[in-house]
Amino acid sequence: MDTSEAIHPDRVGPIIVQEAWGTIGKALALEHMNGVYVCRGERASLAFVFLSEKMFRMKLFMGKDLDLSTTVAVLPRENEPLEATVEETDSAWKLSSGRLVLEIEKKSSALSVFDLEERLVARQNNISWNPRGAIHSVYDMPGDSHFYGLGEKASFLDKRGERYTMWNTDVYAPHMPEIEALYESIPLLIHMHGSSSYGIFLDNPGRTDFDMRSHGIAYTIGCSTGDYDIYFVYGPDLKEVVRDYTGLTGRIALPPKWALGYHQSRYSYMDQNEVLHLARTFREKEIPCDVIYLDIHYMDEYRVFTFDPVRFPDPEAMMSELKALGIRIVPIVDPGVKKDPKYAVYRQGVEKGHFSRKLEGDLFFGDVWPGTSAFPDFTDDTASEWWGNLHKYYTDLGIPGIWNDMNEPAVFNSSKTMDLDVMHGNNGNPKTHEELHNLYGMLMSKATYEGLKRNMDGQRPFVLTRAGYSGIQRYAAVWTGDNRSFWEHMALAMPMVLNMGLSGLAFAGPDIGGFAHHTSAELLVRWTQMGVLFPYCRNHSSIGTLRQEPWSFGPEIESILREYIGLRYRWMPHLYNLFHEASENGLPPMRPLILEYQDDPNVTNLCDQFLVGSDVLAAPIYRPDTEHRAVYLPEGEWIDYWTGEVIQGGRHILAHAPLSIMPLYIKSGAVIAEGGIKLYADDRTDETLTLRVYGAKARPGFKASYSLYEDDGSSFDYVSGVSSLIRFELRGGEDELELSYRYERRGYAANRNLLRFALVCTAFKPSEIEGLNELTEDEADHGQEGWYIDTQTGGLTIQVQDMSQGAVFKLKG
């Protein structure tokens, strides 16, 4: 006999319900209290806060009560909000903040943003919501629109015509154009049209989406739960959008120098002997390397905070040999804690109530590498602090960095993640996992970074993460997850990491050589040539794939790889300088050309070449059996790094690149700070410095300048002023040059006596340099002050004592 279940709604087929989408309706009144402007609409209200002359926050709220708290993505603000000037007309309110005018239309509550020349910058036509709490907004998309940002996404640089979801997801084939949700969620969309750009950051860690595909002349931004809480960040320059967005959500913490070195990883280096053999091989072969990673096999049955007693019987001895070799260990730590009452971390977590649970009190369990596992509730500070403190286990061994993986969190089930009805404590403001999902990975890395820092006696920690949310840059570098050894994935890494850089993630990179599938000698060479100029530089490969350590394909390949890895180390002072800049203003070390040449229509979607800082242009070869490629050089004069040839820009050229060459160009007048080649980045026994100036010209109007930041590269002493800033200038005159340097600050004394200035790719030859003698190269090698013409390159090198008071030299032609 059937029961009433026979007529269960699910059995009778789909029921079409016309969902009623609500809208704000007319704007009825504008109120102002404590720096907040509230526009009361017929069915909902909008709150506006002007955070600066060109940045405002807008939050939709129903009812009377307004909650202006933020997620952890947004840094606490020190400044009071700005007062806007308000003008009311028959049809609108106009709020002027100094650089922007925000107009609220009375008849529809539509918003328009104008610049001071009354040009329309952005228009939000409509916000609507459904009874299930989804919210949706529609923005104008003019014909010349280009879109950037959105963090870690596949496909090309310009996101016009794409649609993306922000929902941190462990996808095993993630790097495909149709994948909408990846490991990281950075809900920042940058829209550029005409000569202006702005960013919209939707601060909502639940599922959100950005659709620049489906609506013709409009793009949409929506969320399925939580608040519609946006920050409008006006440029008009892209650089200003990046600067201000990172001012809002934070910038990278200055990493320890060793973290900028070359990193070697594999899933997995299986035991202590293999790790030590690997480290010794790097040193014997004189290939620079700073870090070896330990993937999941180092653990005792995948229990985090343990070593397998058979495979790694003596971690202390391993660490002490590695220390002598100048190599650091970064072990993987996943969030899943094995369910095992005999395992102290699990027991403590249960006893102290630090694991995520359902509303009814049951712990949430999910399957990951260790089998059934519990997951810390990082939304509670006490659980985070507990987790952070557990890292003493590693720091006591001298381990200064941690690799956070599977922290979306990934779970081996059909939803791929934690149940959405898990109730996070959230420091007394409980919310479901559905509402906070995208924060989980970031909060794990935050807990890790802070825990390491507490235990590292003033040294800088390093955290690498797979998952994150806006603001993750404050705590961790990001790698792009499980790519494959496909040429297509090598090419894709460029736009992916470039957009990550525009989204605040300045310290990012892919698995060099490819993670899954099998690399080849040629792919490894081409990928490494490119990868050494990415901010984060790690070679990582999966279990069961061909080995891809630098020597895996014989001596010829090894020597090409040694040279390129060496280039990264030679350029380390410059690279570190760029990282310092990123920590100060948010601009990423690796940049799309559009960031430096915003008015050049050739570069809006150019992403098979990139800039390192503003003046180094790399154009990798990313197809097999290929020795030529087109390269676009923007306006100005460029110098081929390998041949010294001077090339006029503003056009495409055809570069010739046999296997040992990655096309590389330096802008004329650029300066690069170079150190000596080292086997590990923070070897401070010799901090020799050469400032290499490209294409100097002895003519009025020529100027090359550079500011170099230096500190000990490892501690937090720089925070209290233990750092230096050296300012260098080369100015052209009538058939002469004037070279000067001065310390704007000298709180850090580098380990060197001499400074070298090398003028390369220049026609200039001095007849005399006032106060300096001409030297033989031999005398120069013995540390004498003076100048000489390099017999090989024909360049001029000037070698002087490195003096606090600086110096000026006149170079006569």
Interface residues with ligand GLC (CB under 6 A) are 267, 295-296, 332, 405, 466, 481-482, 515, 540
Q: How far is the CB of 406 from ligand GLC (least distance, A)?
A: 6
Q: Measured from the CB atom, is 74 or 182 closer to ligand GLC?
A: 182
Q: Are 392 and 453 in contact (CB under 8 A)?
A: no
What does the alpha-carbon distance between residue 3 and residue 15 come to, in Å, rounded to a whole number? 21
Q: Measured from the CB atom, is 267 or 462 closer to ligand GLC?
A: 267
Q: How far is the CB of 547 from ligand GLC (least distance, A)?
A: 15
DSSP notation for 750-808: -S-SEEEEEEES-----SEETTB-B--HHHHHTT-SEEEE-TTT--EEEEEE--TT-EE
Q: Measured from the CB atom, is 129 or 267 closer to ligand GLC?
A: 267
Q: How far is the CB of 290 from ligand GLC (least distance, A)?
A: 18
Q: Are 695 and 762 in contact (CB under 8 A)?
A: yes
Any idea what DSSP says for residue 43?
S
Q: Are 775 and 786 in contact (CB under 8 A)?
A: yes
Amino acid sitting at position 403? W
What does the alpha-carbon distance between residue 49 and residue 31 come to, in Å, rounded to a whole number? 12
Burial class of residue 708, CB neighbours in 10 A (0-12, 13-18, 19+): buried
Give yes or no for a cis peptide into 236 (omega within 30° of 0): yes
Q: How far is the CB of 403 from ligand GLC (least distance, A)?
A: 8
The closest alpha carbon to 66, from 86, 84, 46, belongs to 46
Q: How far is the CB of 5 from ligand GLC (least distance, A)?
A: 42
What does the alpha-carbon distance between residue 211 and residue 54 come to, in Å, rounded to a whole number? 25
How many residues in total does the chain contain? Answer: 813
Q: For the beta carbon of residue 431, count every other beta carbon within 10 angstroms.
A: 18
Q: Measured from the CB atom, is 24 or 406 closer to ligand GLC?
A: 406
Do the strands 646-648 and 651-656 form a parallel or antiparallel pair, or are they unpaired? unpaired
* Helix or strand run (H / E) with residue 381: helix 381-390
Contacts of 361 (CB under 8 A, 6+ apart): none
> Strands, E, within 377-416: which ranges?
401-404
Amino acid sitting at position 95? L
Q: How far is the CB of 523 from ligand GLC (least distance, A)?
A: 18
For residue 536, what are the CA distances in angstroms to 262, 471, 526, 532?
8, 18, 16, 8
Q: Measured from the CB atom, is 416 or 431 closer to ligand GLC?
A: 416
Q: Measured from the CB atom, is 104 or 406 closer to ligand GLC?
A: 406
Q: Are 24 and 41 in contact (CB under 8 A)?
A: yes
What does the alpha-carbon distance between residue 209 and residue 225 come to, in Å, rounded to a whole number? 11
Q: How far is the CB of 203 from ligand GLC (least distance, A)?
A: 27
Q: Measured from the CB atom, is 249 or 483 closer to ligand GLC?
A: 483
Alpha helices (H) in 455-599, listed in sequence order: 487-502, 521-531, 555-570, 572-585, 593-596
Q: How far is the CB of 410 from ligand GLC (least distance, A)?
A: 8
Q: How far is the CB of 718 from ligand GLC (least distance, A)?
A: 31
Q: Measured from the CB atom, is 146 or 466 closer to ligand GLC?
A: 466
- Rounded to 5 degrees, φ, ψ at 555 are -65, -30
Token code pair at residue 459: 């040294």
Bridge partners for 759 per DSSP: 693, 796
Residue at shortest CB range from ligand GLC: 267
The closest alpha carbon to 54, from 96, 89, 4, belongs to 96
Q: How far is the CB of 172 from ligand GLC (least distance, A)?
A: 7
* Helix or strand run (H / E) with residue 453: helix 440-454
Q: How far is the CB of 462 from ligand GLC (least distance, A)?
A: 16
What does the alpha-carbon distance between residue 532 and residue 535 come to, in Å, rounded to a whole number? 8
Q: Measured from the CB atom, is 295 or 558 closer to ligand GLC?
A: 295
Q: Measured from the CB atom, is 295 or 736 closer to ligand GLC?
A: 295
Burial class of residue 699, CB neighbours in 10 A (0-12, 13-18, 19+): middle
SS3 content of the chain, % helix, strand, coil (to 5): 20, 30, 45
Catalytic residues: 405, 408, 482
Q: Measured from the CB atom, is 267 or 569 closer to ligand GLC?
A: 267
Q: How far is the CB of 369 from ligand GLC (least distance, A)?
A: 7
Amino acid sitting at position 747? G
Q: Measured from the CB atom, is 407 or 503 closer to ligand GLC?
A: 407
Return the HEC string of 157-198: CCCCCCEEEECCCCCCCCCCCCCCCCCEECCEEEEEECCEEE
Q: Measured from the CB atom, is 304 or 800 closer to ligand GLC?
A: 304
For residue 416, what are the CA distances in angstroms to 109, 168, 182, 419, 424?
40, 10, 12, 9, 18
The crossing angle, in degrees rounded to 10, of helices 440-454 and 381-390 is: 50
Q: How far is the CB of 154 from ligand GLC (least distance, A)?
A: 16
Burial class of residue 398, CB neighbours in 10 A (0-12, 13-18, 19+): middle
Do the strands 27-33 and 637-640 form a parallel or antiparallel pair, or are they unpaired? unpaired
